[in-house]
Chains A and B, each alone.
Chain A
Amino acid sequence: GQNIDQPTEMTATEGAIVQINCTYQTSGFNGLFWYQQHAGEAPTFLSYNVLDGLEEKGRFSSFLSRSKGYSYLLLKELQMKDSASYLCAVMDSNYQLIWGAGTKLIIKP
């Protein structure tokens, strides 16, 4: 079966750095996405990785290791508005997005 695992919840302090991990087992791989979802709102796109390595975009970076079936989202200089759920999703061989349950990130002052 296809499986995406990420921690259910994480807590971090404003101004700090947090790393949210995602491991996956899917039938085929056509890229990994990270989305942000604030409570009661729709998911919004953050990043896409298809090659191994780190993609940096401002305060957010995403890393991928295809051989390990592993990715992480790194958030720097945390702000209160970063409190949200972060969803990892993998595009499988049928170009379908398989979604993780999301990691709820709580930022404390």
Chain B
Amino acid sequence: DTAVSQTPKYLVTQMGNDKSIKCEQNLGHDTMYWYKQDSKKFLKIMFSYNNKELIINETVPNRFSPKSPDKAHLNLHINSLELGDSAVYFCASSPKLRELTDTQYFGPGTRLTVL
């Protein structure tokens, strides 16, 4: 049983396009996250979302927007894709927001390539 799943696993697209990445968790967790891992392997938090509370990393361009239809899903929509958006995007979830020992469970990642 997959705990945190993402689709698609690979996404290749042209500059200027709009795309979405889907994420679902079946762990019953309250909090979900989106991370970007660039070629230097830094994991950068983009968003955390908990019970309709959205915390945004202020460095994230507003072309990126999270959309949560329900507690188990947090999709990432990207407008006007740029070359620099090429990276691996990880979805993650954790039981609660702002709790110590809160382990995050990661999805398999989506490798986005913008041409």
Contacts and interface: CB of A to CB of B under 8 A. Distances in A.
Nearest to B101: A48
Contact of B104 (A31, A45, A85): A45
Secondary structure call for the B interface: loop
A62 B104 CA distance: 18
Contact of A30 (B43, B100, B104, B105): B100
Contact of B41 (A41, A42, A85, A94): A85
Interface stretch (A17-25, A65-73, A96-104): A96-104
B100 A91 contact: yes
Contacts, number: 47
B59 to A, nearest CB: 12
Interface string A54-77: 000000000000000000000000
Contact of B97 (A85, A87, A95): A95
Contact of A97 (B45, B99, B107): B45
B106 A43 contact: yes
Contact of B108 (A31, A33, A41, A99): A41
Tell which of A40, A42, A50, A102 has the most Cβ of chain B within 10 Å: A42
